[in-house]
Amino acid sequence: MNKKWAVKRLTVNLTSGEREKLERYCAMTGRPATDVIRELLRSLEVEKLEKAEENIEKSENVEKEEVSGILDSSQQTHVYW
């Protein structure tokens, strides 16, 4: 085992179908399961998800401020003639 990768060992529970799919893929590509799983993990777009969450939070904050402003103005005293 290459020591630079021996940082953390992880056990993954797979269904029989998932295991078979991984084994077939590894056999077809000649690559070890560890490399395939590592590549899949690297392909996860965590940064994009984090940025999307930030944008949603910013949007929600703006909406809350707008609603709060509308509520504040609607609670003003109204004079009818």
Using CA atoms in the order 26, 29, 31, 35, what is the torsion angle rounded to 10 degrees?
Answer: -80
33 Cβ contact list (under 8 Å, min separation 6)? 22, 23, 26
Within the chain, which residues score under 50 in pLDDT? 79-81
Sign of CA dihedral 23, 29, 35, 40: negative
Sign of CA dihedral 7, 5, 38, 25: negative
* Per-residue pLDDT at 65: 63
Q: Please report the pLDDT score of residue 3 as a whole number.
A: 61
Instruction: Tell me the domain boundaries of the chain.
Output: 13-44, 45-81
Instruction: Output the pLDDT for position 74.
Output: 55
